[in-house]
Structure 1
Amino acid sequence: MSFDLLPDDVARADVPVIAHQDVTLREPGPGDTAVMAELAKSPWTSWWRTDTTPPNQVFWVVEHDSEVLGIITWAPTPVVADLRFTVHPDVEDLAPMVQAVSMVLDHAFAEGTTKSVRWTAMAGDLAGTKVAHAAGIRLHQQLPDHLADGDGNLHDAWLGSIRAEEDREPKTVWRWTELRTERFLLRPLAESDDPRIRETLDDPISRTFLFDRPKPLTDAHAGAERITKWWNAARGLSCTWAVADAGTDDYLGDISLLKIDATTGAELGFYTHPGARGTGVLAETVPVIVAHAFDDLDLRRLTLMAAESNLGSQKLAEKAGFHHFGTQPSAALSGEVMEDLIGYELLRD
């Protein structure tokens, strides 16, 4: 029984039933046809149908309180095994799915021959990555064009792994918070923001200072940038907020803390939707981000880099209390012109 996920001509391994508390891993049956069809339509499983399926692959349905939460496949090998899974789009509480993945890992390492488990997901699978992260899987890298879907389209992949001796605690701090000001909500980026992200990045002023963007720039390009920011947040490397109107939730811009490090601090980066310029979006929100960086993240230093001709960013830095600390000659490409890059810093009191 393939349910449009696994090739029909692949011999299935025996599927053990694994149960713990109220979570059960079992072989799919005829009663699962409808929910499996829904999962098969998910973009996060579309690449499975083109992937080479090992003959010993185990395919589980994850059941919690008589409800199917998702699917897990497991390909055991003597040393390194492969794991992938998809969460049903209607599932909000991911804790039972995290437990299910932990049960698979226990099963994998129980015999002592498997030393490491590799996890692969299509880039952008946010729910699946939250499960992997919570189950203690170390998030490694995003690989371009690593996967192909059933229509032959290429997709980036997110990769991770866990060794038998490692604990099951998250290996990074996922930078995923919400903050508020009087007029704005600072929240994680959402897929619905992509059209306005594209408008922001494709704006002539933005293009002057945000180089290396494709021309023409599409919603798909904007989505790829959002997905990369999600991944960097999951790995604890950065934190990006969409600045949204508190009433309408419309995307008005981005603010990021980049290259987060306990010793060197973080770099502040931002851009504003052209329709929101001149409305005080950054003037109101940057101080909140600065306070969050120092008080909640316990960082000791923030930097901000601005091209010499980017007077708006320089004024913003100075208004937020940043001080000039140095200039890098000919380090910024503004339009097609090389110019100096001005460095600002702010130290925690």
Structure 2
Amino acid sequence: MTRAYAGWQADAVTATSQPPAVTPDVAPAVKPDVKPDVPVLTDGVVTLRAHSVEDADAIVEQSTDPDSLRWTTVPRPYGRDDALGWVEHNLAAWGEPGATRSWAIEWTDDTGASRYGGTIDLRPGAAPSVGELGFGLHPDARGRGLMSRAVRLVVGYAFANTVWGAPVGRVHWRAVVGNWGSRRAVWAAGFTFHGTVPGSHPDPEGGPQALDTWTGSITPGDPLTARTPWLAPTEIIGEQVRLRPWRPDDVDAIEPRDDPDNWMPARSILRRETFPAWLLTRQERMSEGTALDWCVADLGTDRALGSVTLFSRGGPIGDAAELGYQFFPSARGRGAAKEAARLAVAHALAPVAEGGLGVRRLVAETAADNEASNAVLRSVGFTSFGREHAVDRLPGGGWGDGLHWELLPPGATD
């Protein structure tokens, strides 16, 4: 589970509540300068060790960092006394049979100096055979792939040891939806994602609504490497349009649509009021390797004109993918859709070694009466190979046909 510690990272900040600071009427269980028997774990780049009072200032920096505050329930305000009490709590827990096991993350910076990089812990779950993961990085340690290394070390330790009196058979992770740094860290370490749990985490900012969380887990024997590709929409420049990642402010370019209902599934249509959810869904699909989505923008003004996507209906994109697109009314009739489709198709068919997807076959589906969309597909080399009769409900009543398209470049059947 992603927890709120004394410090977190955008590179891997997981959210949970922090143990309370030690108060004056509570006798310290372990002196801050006394280190219990904490196993040191290392892969040669990252070292996990016991927390120390020397970490206190860096812990405060991490705990007051904007990303840490955004994704975790770390106490506000947070000072050096909080950090010292938290270090003491972590050390004392190593002497308790059923308590959390926490490590400080140590790394070597560009000058060769060893530095505190953050915290990672393994917490008891629903049974002694289940653990929950939590972590966070100091801002200076982010963006270096350190947390995925730390996750592998802790997961390896959990599965190789009887941590709470029984062999650990599963380690869970949880993070607030939108915490892409945390998700990417466990993705790289081989976790399987199970979905989204609605309303399952308190708002770190104290808002009245509970936030949704992503959840995932890993079991012994699972490879400690990414199970699926994480696709990213790199910029592609054409003659009049560019394909680029979507931005939140692109919502201002979205125009009302008057297309017939049978031309496109309602859930896929770009609308201003649903744009944040629409974008999140596509970002999630890209992180699972099942889709690659671009904003099609005007080359001169960079204003969003519509969307083009490559996707798979049955798991990560492999040797086949489906093409989809939609454009705002003011962008039609100028060749933008045809150029965007051509650029996306070229990227799909390009070898992986050249930065493409290495797809062997492309397919598409359209409504038979959507001649503009059909013309786009013909312009980039698709041919129709099938017709389904009476599959789409027409706005005025009755049923319309659907067309199936494919594109197989030369050599695709060899």
Q: Which TM-score applies when normalising by structure 1? A: 0.79
Distance 2:406 2:309 in 1: 15
The answer as to 2:243 corresponding to 1:186 is yes
CA distance in 2, matches of 1:205, 1:123: 32
- Unaligned stretches of 5+ in structure 2? 8-15, 23-28, 31-35, 77-92, 352-356
- Give the structure with the higher percent strand: 1
- Paired letter, 2:46: V
Aligned counterpart, 1:166: 222
Q: Which has the higher contact order (CA 8 A, sep 6+)?
A: 2
Displacement of 1:268 after TM fit? 1.0
The answer to whether the 8 A contact 1:123-1:227 is kept is no
**SS, match of residue 173 in structure 2:** strand
| Cα distance change of structure 1 residues 309 and 179 upon mapping to structure 2, 3 Å threshold | same
- Corresponding residue SS for 2:344: helix
Q: Following TM superposition, by how much is the alpha carbon of 1:172 offset from its aligned partner in structure 2, in angstroms?
A: 0.8
Matched, 1:97 2:150: no
What's the counterpart of residue 56 of structure 1? 99
Partner of 1:81: 131
The equivalent of 2:175 in structure 1 is 121
1:23 partner letter: V
The residue number in structure 2 matching 1:33 is 60
Q: CA offsets per residue over residues 106-155 of structure 1, 9 Å max, x none?
A: 22223051122122222222222222221222233344444442424244
Asked if the contact 1:242–1:255 (Cα under 8 Å) also holds between the matched residues in 2, the reply is yes
Aligned equivalent of 2:341: 286
Q: Deviations over 1:149-193 (max 9, x none)?
A: 242424443222222212222111222242523344323334444
SS of the aligned residue for 1:102 comes to: helix
Determine if the alignment matches structure 1 residue 110 to structure 2 residue 160: yes
Displacement of 1:276? 3.0
Structure 1 stretch displaced more, 205-214 or 299-308:
205-214
Rounded to whole Å, the distance in 2 between the matches of 1:239 and 1:136 is 21
CA–CA separation in structure 2 for the residues paired with 1:62 and 1:92: 12
Report the alpha carbon displacement of residue 244 of structure 1 after superposing the two structures with TM: 3.2
Q: How high is the TM-score relative to the length of structure 2?
A: 0.68
- Which residue among 286, 289, 298 is the counterpart of 1:236? 289
Classify the secondary structure of the residue corresponding to 1:204.
coil
1:122–1:158 contact (8 Å) kept in structure 2: yes
**Residue in 2 aligned with 1:251?**
304
Query: Cα deviations across residues 68-115 of structure 1 (Å, max 9, x unaligned)?
Result: 655534313532211234456776623122212222222222305112
Q: Deviations over 1:290-320 (max 9, x none)?
A: 2222233333322211123322111111111
In 2, distance between residues paired with 1:231 and 1:80? 26
Number of aligned residues: 341
Segment drifting more, 262-271 vs 318-327:
262-271
Which range moves more in the overlay, 336-345 or 315-324? 336-345
CA contact 1:239–1:258 (8 Å) conserved in 2: yes
Query: Which deviates further from its counterpart, 91-100 or 24-33?
Result: 24-33
Task: Tell me what 1:44 maps to.
Answer: 71
Distance 2:337 2:269 in 1: 27
Q: Distance between the aligned counterparts of 1:61 and 1:275, measured in 2?
A: 55
Alpha-carbon shift at residue 217 of structure 1 (Å): 5.4
Secondary structure class of the residue paired with 1:304: strand
The corresponding residue for 1:276 is: 331
What secondary structure is seen at the aligned counterpart in 2 of 1:298? coil
Does the C-alpha gap of structure 1 residues 317 and 35 become closer, same or farther in structure 2, counting only changes over 3 Å?
same
Which is worse superposed, 262-271 or 306-315? Answer: 262-271
Pick aligned residue for 1:316 from 369, 373, 376: 376
For the residue of structure 1 that corresponds to 2:64, the secondary structure is helix
SS at match of 1:124: coil
| Residues 336/27 of structure 1: CA separation in 2 closer, same or farther (3 Å cut) | farther
Q: Establish whether residue 23 from structure 1 lines up as the match of residue 46 from structure 2.
A: yes
5 Å-filtered alignment, 1:255-270, equals: 255-259=308-312, 265-270=320-325
Asked if residue 227 in structure 1 is aligned to residue 283 in structure 2, the reply is no
Q: 1:224 to 1:61 in 2, by over 3 A?
A: farther
Q: 1:207 to 1:285 in 2, by over 3 A?
A: same
Contact 1:211-1:334 at 8 Å conserved across structures: no
Equivalents in 1 of 2:321, 2:139: separation in Å? 34
User: How many Å apart are 1:63 and its aligned residue?
Assistant: 4.6
Q: Which amino acid aligns with 1:135?
A: A
Q: Distance in 2 between matches of 1:174 and 1:309?
A: 36
Q: CA RMSD in A?
A: 4.0
3-state SS in 2 of match to 1:174: coil
The amino acid that maps onto 1:79 is S
